A = this chain, B = another copy of it.
Amino acid sequence: MSSIADFLNKNGKNWENSLIDFVKIPSISCQTEHMDDCLRAADWLQDYFRKIGFTPKLYPLSTGHPIVYAESPKIADAPTLLIYGHYDVQPVDPLNLWTECSPFEPVIKEGIMYGRGTSDDKGPLFSHIAAAEFWMLQGDLRPKLNVKFLLEGDEEGSNSATEIFVRENADLLACDYLALSDSTQFAPGFPSITSGLRGIAAYELILRGPIQDLHSGMFGGAITNPCNALVEILGKIHDENYRIAIPGFYDEITRLTQEDQEQLRILPFDENSFYDSVGVSCGLGEKDISVLEQISTRPTFDINGITGGYQGEGGKTIIPAWASAKFSFRLVPNQDPDELTVSLKRWLEEQLPPGITMELIIEGLSAGMLVDLSRPCMKAAAKSMEFGFGRSPVFVREGGSIPIVSTFSSALTPNVMMLAYTQKTDNAHGPNEHFSLSDFTRGIKSNVKLWQELAVL
């Protein structure tokens, strides 16, 4: 059997063509007119698994987008690796900004493949399938592993059905290790292993006052205005040091260790460029905490949307009947979103002025997570990426949230390896989404190496 490098030289073009076929399927999960396309994408995966010698099976979900499950021929006494990915993609609007190609007619230009889903997540996902194909071709000589794939079609919509599936099928999905590639490299030239994610607690708060909008001349001064109440309450969530005033909010949070600080220090990050990139001259955060620490390792409170009263042209002097805000906290490891919900609700009720009633709707809760970098599999993952990328990876805590990873970690295994192959600049979710074929082949090589490492761990 040749090395993966030789094999890529000879057969890499086939994998590129297969990925193009996969990207051509417009599997947009949140648009019902693409329901059949999502099924086609699931079928395409099933066929590919069958071709390389895996046993695939579709598990229908209530969303209409089935889980694609596949497993390799069983090997007794070998460890099990589960690989997660998603075959659904984001919508493509605005179409007029797709200047490199039509979203589902992928093209390759100067080593870059353009098309919706190339980087999120069809490309990275397929790098694991390619590794599986190469591995199977080695027959009995292949590293001794049991490999399972769990590929969902609801990641870009609400994937709570997938979370339930995972919890209810812990036996089917039982594994020693879990790998996924759905996060990004810190910067070009910095292959990355995502070592932590922030959790999220998202809510909508609705305040109600009078039964209808009132004339502010006839009633103003005596009737509590729900818009006023909303700003007066939410305005108190940040204290004067820009810390969150909900009692107990910081109780379980630990400051970064020396090692964590060290990891942050080696990352290339310029605060001024960061601000420039979004058109502001400066920002606002907790005192004495660097921007990079702030956006990846500290919790936040952000109002995502606010609405109430008259929002048309000109003015209308009313006391609105209601006002509402959608807001979310990004959480860091050890913060329990359920406990936060309880203390938030109690705190909000205490702030409520007379004449106003409140409703708090939970939009989503998921805990943050942190990978224990001392686990042997993390060293194996680092070694594999060093093989694939020619440079040892950095461990990076991401500020975003991948709720299902917490589920994996609690329901399946704590040995979660988030191998980041794409770039932040790949325009995931945006027009001209793309994926570098160099990152694609480096990913395949990393995966091949990882399987060797895990087999002998």
Interface, chain A (partner B; CB < 8 A): 198, 200, 202, 204, 209-212, 214-225, 227-228, 230-236, 238, 274-275, 278-286, 291, 294-295, 298-311, 314-320, 323, 325-326, 328, 330, 353-355, 363-364, 398-401
Contacts and interface: CB of A to CB of B under 8 A. Distances in A.
Contact of A317 (B230, B231, B238, B304): B304
A220 to B, nearest CB: 4
Nearest to A293: B221
Given A218-B399, A400-B217, A224 B280 contact: yes
A281 B224 CA distance: 11
Contacts of A217: 198, 200, 330, 398-401
Nearest to A232: B235
A225 B398 CA distance: 20
Closest 5 CB pairs of A and B: A235-B235, A217-B400, A211-B279, A305-B309, A227-B303
A305 B311 contact: yes
A353 B281 CA distance: 12
A281 B353 CA distance: 12
Contacts of A282: 354-355
A363 B315 contact: yes
Contact of A220 (B233, B274, B307, B399): B399
A353 B400 contact: no
A305 B279 contact: no
A334 to B, nearest CB: 17
Contact of A310 (B212, B299, B305, B353): B305
Contact of A305 (B227, B234, B354, B401): B227
A311 B315 contact: no
A352 B203 CA distance: 26
A401 B299 CA distance: 46
Given A223-B278, A223-B283, A227-B302, 8 more contacts: A216-B328, A217-B330, A218-B398, A222-B283, A223-B275, A228-B302, A303-B308, A315-B326
A300 to B, nearest CB: 4
A277 to B, nearest CB: 9
Contact of A222 (B274, B299, B364): B274
A401 B218 CA distance: 9
A421 B222 CA distance: 25
A327 to B, nearest CB: 8
Given A278-B210, A282-B354, A315-B364, A221 B308 contact: no
A336 to B, nearest CB: 19
A221, A295, A364 pick with most chain B CB within 10 angstroms: A221
A234 B298 CA distance: 26
Contacts of A220: 295, 300, 302, 330, 399
A306 B227 contact: yes
A232 B317 CA distance: 22
Contacts of A354: 281-284
B330 A298 contact: no
A221 B305 contact: no
A341 to B, nearest CB: 14
A317 B202 contact: yes
B284 A227 contact: no
A298 B210 contact: no
Nearest to A215: B400
Given A217-B398, A218-B400, A307-B306, A228 B301 contact: yes
Contact of A295 (B219, B234, B238): B219
B298 A221 contact: yes
Contacts of A364: 315
B294 A222 contact: yes
Contacts of A238: 228, 232
